[in-house]
């Protein structure tokens, strides 16, 4: 089971179903104009969820499985909502910029401190048990 959690938004579940057609998980479509709003849903292994959100909260929002080992192995993502609005309205406090400077972290550009899609110089993925992006029970 996976407890999927969304930060920054309450979503409406509009459909759940199996990832592949050989599964016994049924497809469920939620009808009506106002499906229930929530920020967490539990899914079985091999199940997908289709959600609807109202994109009215500019920011960088983390979405993840609540099982820590799944979260660490990559069952998580962020989405950036309205980056143009964020650049005009959100300001990073000066003390945070100073903290980044002390740690040697870039404060402009993408996560590698570069612009566009140039990711040269970014740290490699976290390695656990010697393999990038994998966790074993041993």
Q: Where are the alpha helices (DSSP H) in 9-137?
A: 68-72, 83-89, 94-103
How much is the pLDDT for 94?
Answer: 95
C-alpha dihedral, 72 to 76 to 81 to 87, nearest 10°: 10
> Tens of pLDDT along 1-24?
888 899 999 999 999 999 887 878
| Sheet strands (E) in 30-82 | 37-38, 40-43, 47-52, 59-65, 76-81
pTM attached to this predicted model: 0.62
Q: Compute the average pLDDT of residues 40-64.
A: 89
Residue 95's Cβ-side half-sphere holds a number of Cα atoms within 13 Å equal to 0
């Amino acid at each position: 089971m996976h407890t999927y959690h969304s930060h920054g938004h309450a979503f409406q579940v509009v459909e759940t179903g199996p990832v592949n057609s050989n599964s016994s998980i049924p497809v469920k479509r939620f009808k009506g104009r106002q499906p229930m709003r929530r920020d967490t849903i539990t899914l079985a292994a091999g199940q997908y969820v289709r959600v609807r959100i109202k994109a009215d909260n500019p920011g960088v929002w983390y979405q993840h499985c609540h099982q820590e080992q799944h979260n660490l192995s990559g069952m998580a993502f962020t989405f950036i909502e309205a980056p143009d609005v964020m650049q005009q309205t959100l300001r990073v406090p000066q003390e945070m910029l100073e903290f980044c400077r002390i740690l040697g972290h870039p404060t402009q550009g993408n996560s590698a401190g570069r612009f566009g899609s140039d990711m040269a110089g970014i740290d490699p993925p976290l390695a656990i048990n010697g393999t990038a992006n994998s966790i074993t029970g041993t």
